[in-house]
Amino acid sequence: MDSHTHDLNALFQQLGLPSETKALQAFVSQHSPLAETIELADAPFWSASQATFLREQLNKDADWAEVVDQLNLLLRRPR
């Protein structure tokens, strides 16, 4: 089992997105606030594989789940 602690930059790498801090901040700024009625993995800006990864990590409470939750909270904040 992979017991590494992951951070947002690593999550963005895993999702195939630019992972530099400025790119991450731009992504969050562009896509927030995400409506409370939309599950994170169902947001329209994810590819099918990204959505599947996010959903699986949360459902399995996997190592990535904590950082996926962090991203979810960031995307819910008003601009």
pLDDT in tens, 15-47: 999 999 999 999 999 999 999 999 999 999 999
Architecture of domain 8-76: Orthogonal Bundle (1.10)
Closest CA to 50 of 20, 9, 13: 13
Q: Is 57 in contact with 71 (CB distance < 8 Å)?
A: no
Q: Which residues contact 63 (CB under 8 A, 6 or more apart)?
A: 1, 2, 3, 4, 5, 6, 57
The Cα angle at residue 17 between residues 78 and 37, in degrees rounded to 5: 35
Percentage of residues in the chain with pLDDT exceeding 90? 85
Q: Is the pLDDT assigned to residue 2 strictly greater than 60?
A: no
**Residue ranges of the domains in the chain?**
8-76
Structure confidence at residue 1 as a pLDDT band (50, 70, 90): very low
pLDDT digits (tens, 9 = 90+) for 60-77: 988 899 999 999 999 998
pLDDT of residue 77: 87
